[in-house]
């Protein structure tokens, strides 16, 4: 444990050393200090970096190299694993321009992945959307690297949510007891090609402005950069910092905390760096069946209707259903064609 838990400058997002959350023998005071830093970050920005997260760099490097190899294939090869073949599981490859995060095509391509469930699993048998087997591209070692990475980062998700629980004055297991004992984990691998947009195509962003839907997003990004965050004081860059992940809170944590912890809008610039950019967001979300409720008794959490200021004009505080329904409403908007095909 280093003595300095948070490092940041006024204009940038805080970097939080989470060693005390990851190591089982850390003492309560050290964990409380990390939780305190997280609480400030969540109230001020809804975004923070984490370091000393415990995910081995060689695993990240392996996943990065294999992903680079996959995206370098011609489009028709990658389309062998297209999302339409993933059916209700919403897994597989989508091509550049295939996702419309905020109504216009994003200038990125990607692989949709998630917790690997066999076709015989009861939830898959029941046709539960976003559950099922992955479509792993045929590339030596890729499947293993993806599964190992998802497992390692899911563990980080549990630890960060424990820190967030402590930061709210809640029992450490508050979220796991109610929502994330069996979290919904979706994972994406994105490639932002450094490639011109053809004439006549309106694709101004790598990813258009949006908030994330669930509880917590944990993002690894390579060295290229392009992510920026809409803080109360304006757009702030979230540049790559070696050895870190970027964490941000999603709409469901905003909903639970009555807006005390905001799901902050962010976007990714179109990549013109000359080198393709890879990013790896893992979405650590409530179980599909979980009904999302407000945390009782939080001070300073008015659950104000902020729909007029939100990118999607929605009032998250009025949402009362299953998390799965919230998620499906969102993904069907960003993949309109697929919605008609598979849902």
Q: Are 215 and 287 in contact (CB under 8 A)?
A: no
Q: Give Cα 321 to chain centroid, integer Å.
A: 21
Length of the chain: 343
Indicate which of Fe ion, ligand AKG, none lies near residue 219 (CB less than 5 to 8 Å, by partner kind). Answer: ligand AKG
Q: Is 290 exposed, middle or buried (0-12, 13-18, 19+ CB in 10 A)?
A: buried
- For the CB of residue 22, give the shortest distance to Fe ion in the complex, in Å: 24
Q: Print the binding letters for residues 270-289 with ligand AKG: x by CB under 6 A, - otherwise.
A: ---------x-x--------
Binding mask 237-266 for ligand AKG (x = CB under 6 A): -----------------------------x
Q: How far is the CB of 86 from ligand AKG (least distance, A)?
A: 18
> Does residue 207 touch ligand AKG according to CB under 6 A?
yes
Q: Does 219 bind ligand AKG (CB under 6 A)?
A: yes
How many whole angstroms separate alpha carbon 317 and alpha carbon 20?
A: 32
Residues 170-199: x where in contact with ligand AKG by CB under 6 A, - otherwise, as a string: ------------------x-x---------
Kindly indicate which of the ranges 148-156, 171-179, 219-227, 326-334 contains the residues binding ligand AKG, using the contact rule CB under 6 A. Answer: 219-227
Cβ atoms of 215 and 249 within 8 Å: the answer is yes
Sign of the Cα pseudo-torsion (120, 126, 129, 130, in order): negative
At 321, list the tokens.
């259903």
Least Cβ distance, residue 190 to ligand AKG (angstroms): 5
CB 303 within 8 A of CB 258: yes
Residue among 226 and 303 whose Cβ is closer to ligand AKG: 226
Please work out, in degrees rounded to the nearest 5, the angle formed at the alpha carbon of residue 103 by the alpha carbons of 100 and 224: 50
Cβ closer to Fe ion: 34 or 42?
42
The C-alpha angle 150, 134, 115, rounded to 5 degrees, equals: 40
Among 17, 106, 212, 222, binds Fe ion (CB under 5 A): 212
Rounded CA-CA distance 26/162 in Å is 14
Number of residues in contact with ligand AKG, rule: CB under 6 A?
Answer: 11
Instruction: Select 97 or 258, whichever has its Cβ closest to ligand AKG.
Output: 97
Burial letters for 151-164: b for 16+ Cβ neighbours within 10 Å, e otherwise? ebbbebbbbbbbbb
Binding site for ligand AKG (CB under 6 A): 188, 190, 207, 212, 219, 221, 227, 266, 268, 279, 281
């Amino acid at each position: 444990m280093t003595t300095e838990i948070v490092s940041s400058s006024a204009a940038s997002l805080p970097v939080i050393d989470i060693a005390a959350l990851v190591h089982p023998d850390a003492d309560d005071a050290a964990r409380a200090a990390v939780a305190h830093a997280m609480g400030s970050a969540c109230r001020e920005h809804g975004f923070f970096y984490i370091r000393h997260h415990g995910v081995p760099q060689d695993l990240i490097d392996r996943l990065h190299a294999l992903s680079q190899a996959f995206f370098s294939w011609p489009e028709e090869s990658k389309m062998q694993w297209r999302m339409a073949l993933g059916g209700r599981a919403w897994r597989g490859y989508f091509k550049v321009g295939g996702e419309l995060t905020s109504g216009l095509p994003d200038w990125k391509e990607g692989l949709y992945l998630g917790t690997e469930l066999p076709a015989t699993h009861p939830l898959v048998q029941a046709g539960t959307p976003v559950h099922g087997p992955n479509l792993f591209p045929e590339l030596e070692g890729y499947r293993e690297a993806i599964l190992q990475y998802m497992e390692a980062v899911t563990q980080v998700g549990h630890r960060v949510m424990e820190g967030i629980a402590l930061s709210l004055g809640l029992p450490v297991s508050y979220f796991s007891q109610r929502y994330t004992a069996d979290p919904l984990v979706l994972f994406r691998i994105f490639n932002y090609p450094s490639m011109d947009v053809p004439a006549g195509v309106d694709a101004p962003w790598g990813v258009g402005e949006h908030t994330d839907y669930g509880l917590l997003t944990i993002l690894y990004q390579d060295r290229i950069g392009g992510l920026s965050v809409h803080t109360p004081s304006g757009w702030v860059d979230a540049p790559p910092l070696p050895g870190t992940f970027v964490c941000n809170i999603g709409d469901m944590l905003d909903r639970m905390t009555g807006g005390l912890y905001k799901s902050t809008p962010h976007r990714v610039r179109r990549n013109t760096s000359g080198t393709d950019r890879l990013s790896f967001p893992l979405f650590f979300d409530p179980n599909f069946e979980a009904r999302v409720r407000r945390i009782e008794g939080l001070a300073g959490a008015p659950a104000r209707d902020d729909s007029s200021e939100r990118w999607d004009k929605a009032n998250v505080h009025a949402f009362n259903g299953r998390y799965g329904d919230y998620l499906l409403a969102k993904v069907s908007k960003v993949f309109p064609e697929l919605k008609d095909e598979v849902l």
